[in-house]
Chain A
Amino acid sequence: MSTSAAGGDGTETPSSLQSSGVPADRKGAPHRIEVDAVNAKAKRSGYAARVKIHPKRVSGRFRSIKWAVMIATLLIYYVTPWLRWTRPGDAPDQAVLIDFQTQRFYFFFIEIWPQEFYYITGLLILAAFGLFLINSVAGRIWCGYMCPQTVWTDLFIYVERFVEGDRNARLRLDKAPLSASKFIKRFIKHAVWLAIAVSTGGAWIFYFADAPTLARELVVLEAPVTAYFSMGIFTFTTYLLGGFAREQVCIYMCPWPRIQGAMFDEDSMAISYRDYRGESRGPHKAGTGWEGRGDCIDCRQCVAACPMGIDIRDGFQLECIQCALCIDACDAIMAKVGRPRGLIDYESEANLERLAKGEPRQSHILRPRTLLYAALIIGVAALMSLTLFTRSTLDANLIRDRNPVFVRLSDGSVRNGFTVRAINKLHETRQLTISITGLEGAIMTRGATHGSPDDLTIVVGPDATKAEKFYVSLPRAALAGTLKGGAANLVFVIQDPVTGQTITEKTSFRGPE
């Protein structure tokens, strides 16, 4: 809504406009009053058109860090699916693989089964706490350096700058009428963007299939439709979000800027403008002194450098992803005019206040909030690694027959049926022996349908599960003494004689009351 509510030449006050509208001396005569429609069309829009941002190139320490992080993260993303990892048996040799077909997640030496999905939950919890910790110590490091949206946007801006030139050249090109050279520049830019987008989507699908095989299939057009489809979606979103949406994603789509508002406290580091040092700002003539004025020469280099299109001197803002490029821009200027660096700097709100009052700055990295986050991270990580490294390669569960609960046999004995489901996480076939204890006189047999009735073993293939039925019967003579209230305790022992691994499963034997 427009803020210029008062209308006309300003001769009338808003309150007189709201009265009858006819001044006393003009009564009876046709006349013209100075009034503006409060809801005029021009004022009605609740929507703002986006103003394109043309970030200016900067160089400096944070820019260098950002380049390094960009190269590192892109390398990790593109190279990871091609890493090989030798695994026994017919398990895939891709180091990181999410295999939907066999429902396994491979991560170097770790293999996760679907029922162990809680490890993924654990990883997500770790990631969340990690983000909280970094945030309360050093601000939005994630947003400024590591978020894919930031990394890819940076890459796309780099391409844009390479093809079309820096900020001023781009502004000019935008305004210029379409010409052959403009067309060629735009064409090259979009072509490179699309190439990056395709390879982004292309790399993604390699995480879900054997990368070399899939790459070959992709080229000869034999890959599954879903591969092309996912690639297409990723290509489109990368192109859209990196090339066009950019800061709009951070400002309007991403929940993290809102969440991190709650994570911040006065001791959190943030990109801050030292207003106590910078104000009052104004242009500075070379050779004149600095007394009675601030260090800020109002050159607006910080604004030109900002990929989010804000002025950091307005203070802490939701839009600021804390990429620190304005620090680099300002430091370069301060060096030029011979003032100390850090007029814009990583600084906490509390320190800004202290420094403004002339007190020394204090570092409060260790505070209850950060200690709590750190403790939680260590706790969750320790718990996860403990369970991960002590988890067994053999698992079994036991399901007793419920319909019927027990069967009376011709010699008067009572029989119960149990299904033993063995899970073999080794990549080799294993033969497990099944036995029972804890129930005097009980005999275990195997149904006659497959194999021999006395074969009390389960052969379970590599990296597989196998369920087999076993029968336990209690002779008539033993019944009365053993079954209390129609039930007695029974223990199954599932053992791998080779490794010595043993699993005991408690259950109960049921019979007539």
Chain B
Amino acid sequence: MTDEIKSKDAASGSGGMETTGHVWDGIEELNTPLPRWWLWTLYACIIWAVGYMIVMPAVPFPTSDGWDYTKGLAGYSQRDVVRGEVAKSEASRAIFENRIASADLAEIRNDEDLLAVSLAGGAAAFGDNCAPCHGSGAQGFTGFPNLNDDDWIWGGSLDDIYQTIAHGIRWEEDDDTRYSEMPKFGVDEILEPADISDVVQFVLSLSASEHNAEQAVRGAVVFEDQCSACHGESGQGDRTMGAPNLNDALWLYGGDEAAITQTVTQARYGVMPAWQGRLGDATVKELALYVHALGGGE
């Protein structure tokens, strides 16, 4: 130390000030004492830290069944804070939920605020409950309809959609479920394979797809007899029966010869659960508005 302190001399370049004796590239480090209050600030921080560890949850320690931690005198818990905030936001949501529950669909549709809340709530509920069957963008899969388009099996008005979601389709636990059953023309031997082949060609002709014209002429007769009761005279479908439109460009089970033959031979019997009991009426309303607003709503 004594030697280092000797570096205190004007010639060393430190301007006559005391240095620590450390020199880098000719630059010396001055040994300026730190103000004492700075030291106190450090002590204050240490005391604060100790106090903080006593008051707040701090030190983890292992127990026989996993890790635990010192809880602190203040009994503070971030989980409680989160729980409180969730409860608060639920309470503020509940105001809207109550209004949605008591309003009818048309009222909600015409109220900008309620509609915005419903669409947001519907989007969340759709992601949780419907996306596995209908896809995250409601784009559908074979057998599970695309809900964005303008083709509705059971109806695309707000009330129709609500009815479908609330009570499901062919969901036997619900008395008000949408119900119909296309006969299994092949399996139950209602039609001969040749008739089936003919009527399939006729169905293909309805949507201007490639087909055998000769067979289609014969198929038209079969269709008139066997199918028009449900699918309509010109194959336009019947929403009360849930019988799809057969002359448009959209197919639930596929529009090629093989898919149609399979449908006619063994029918499909698509099933969707009823949601009202599970999700509650308010959420079903939100879902109906959300699906309606996907672009195809009528």
Interface residues of A (CB under 8 A from B): 1, 3, 5-6, 14, 38-39, 45-50, 248, 252, 401-404, 407-412, 415, 417, 447-450, 469, 471, 476
Interchain CB contact under 8 A, A48 and B36: yes
CA–CA, A408 and B150, complex, Å: 9
**Majority DSSP secondary structure for residues of A touching B:** loop
Cβ contact within 8 Å between B139 and A3: no
Told that A46-B33, A415-B148, A469-B293 touch, could you supply 4 new A-B pairs with CB distance under 8 A?
A48-B33, A409-B149, A415-B295, A449-B297
Q: How far is the CB of B123 from chain A (nearest CB, A)?
A: 11
Inter-subunit contact A407/B8 (CB<8 Å): no
B34: which of A5, A48, A415, A471 is its contact (CB, 8 Å)? A48
**Complex Cα spacing A403 to B136, Å:** 7
- B295 touching A3, Cβ below 8 Å: no
Whether A408 pairs with B149 at a CB distance below 8 angstroms is: yes
Beyond A47-B34, A409-B149, whether A5 also contacts B295 by CB under 8 A is: no
- Contact status of A408 and B250, CB under 8 A, knowing A3-B18, A46-B34, A47-B39: yes
State the CA gap A450–B115 with chains docked (Å): 9
Instruction: Name B95-147 residues within 8 Å CB distance of A.
Output: 109-110, 112, 115, 135-139, 146
The CA of A235 and the CA of B257, in the complex, are separated in Å by: 83
Does the CB pair A50–B139 fall under 8 Å? no
Q: Which residue of B lies closest to A49 (CB)?
A: B36
Q: Is the CB of A411 within 8 A of B18?
A: no
Q: How far, in Å, is B236 (CB) from chain A's closest CB?
A: 11
A447 contact set on B, CB distance < 8 A = 293-295, 297
Residues of chain B within 8 A (CB-CB) of A5 are 1-2, 5-6
Closest 4 CB pairs of A and B: A403-B137, A410-B248, A412-B249, A48-B33
- Asked whether any CB of chain A lies closer than 8 Å to the CB of B26, the reply is no
Interfacial residues, chain B to chain A (CB-CB below 8 A): 1-2, 5-6, 8, 18, 31, 33-39, 109-110, 112, 115, 135-139, 146, 148-151, 158, 245, 248-250, 289, 292-298
Q: Are A448 and B248 in contact (CB under 8 A)?
A: no
Chain B residue with the shortest CB-CB distance to A50:
B35
Q: Is the pair A404, B297 in contact by a Cβ cutoff of 8 Å?
A: no
Among B6, B137, B158, max chain A CB count under 10 A is at: B137
Shortest C-beta distance, B17 to chain A (Å), equals 10
Q: In the complex, which residues of chain B have a beta carbon less than 8 angstroms from the beta carbon of A401?
A: 137
Chain B interface mostly: loop
> For the complex, what is the distance from the CA of A411 to the CA of B207, rounded to whole Å?
10
Q: Which of A39, A50, A412 contacts B36 (CB 8 A)?
A: A50
A-chain residues with CB within 8 Å of residue B109 when the two chains form the complex: 449-450
Chain B, residue nearest A417 (CB): B295
CA distance A303 to B174 in the complex (A): 95
On whether the beta carbons of A407 and B148 are closer than 8 Å, the reply is yes
B6 to chain A, nearest CB (A): 8
**Bound-complex Cα distance A411 to B35 (A):** 83
Task: Give the CA-CA distance A415 to B149 in the complex, in Å.
Answer: 9
9 A-B residue pairings within 8 Å (CB atoms): A3-B8, A47-B38, A49-B36, A248-B35, A248-B37, A407-B146, A417-B295, A447-B294, A449-B297
What distance in Å separates the Cβ of A234 from its nearest Cβ neighbour in chain B? 20
A409 adjacent to B151 (CB under 8 Å): yes
A467 to chain B, nearest CB (A): 10
Residues in B whose Cβ lies below 8 Å from that of A46 = 33-34
B137 contact set on A, CB distance < 8 A:
401-404
Taken together as a complex, chains A and B put the C-alpha atoms of A48 and B135 apart, in Å, by 71
> What is the CA–CA distance of A345 and B296 in the complex, to the nearest angstrom?
82
A486 to B282, CA, bound (A): 40
Are B35 and A14 closer than 8 Å at their CB atoms? Answer: no
Contact B297 A410 (CB under 8 A): no
B residues in contact with A39, CB < 8 Å: 1
Complexed CA–CA distance, A413 and B288 (Å): 25
Query: Using Cβ atoms and an 8 Å threshold, which residues of chain B touch A14?
Result: 2
Point out the residues of chain B lying under 8 angstroms from A469, CB to CB.
293, 295
Considering the complex, give the chain A residue whose CB is closest to the CB of B207: A412
Whether the Cβ atoms of A410 and B295 lie closer than 8 Å is: no
Find chain B residues with CB under 8 A from A476 CB.
Answer: 249
Which residues of A sit under 8 angstroms from B110, Cβ to Cβ?
Answer: 450
Per the bound structure, the CA–CA distance linking A47 and B1 in Å amounts to 17
Min CB distance B45 to A, Å, is 15
A83 shortest CB reach to chain B, Å: 36
On chain B, the residues within 8 Å of A45 by CB distance are 33
Q: How far is the CA of A273 from the CA of B31 in the complex (A)?
A: 26
Could you say which residues of chain B place their CB within 8 Å of the CB of A1?
Answer: 1, 5, 18, 31, 33
Q: Which residue of B lies closest to A251 (CB)?
A: B35
Q: How far is the CA of A417 from the CA of B296 in the complex (A)?
A: 11
Cα distance, A252 to B39, chains bound together (Å): 13
Q: Which residue of B lies closest to A5 (CB)?
A: B2
Quote the shortest CB–CB distance from A451 to chain B (angstroms): 10
- Determine the residue in chain A with the shortest Cβ distance to B37: A50
* A147–B82 alpha-carbon span in the complex (Å): 42
Whether B2 and A448, one on each chain, are in contact in the complex, defined by CB atoms closer than 8 angstroms, is no
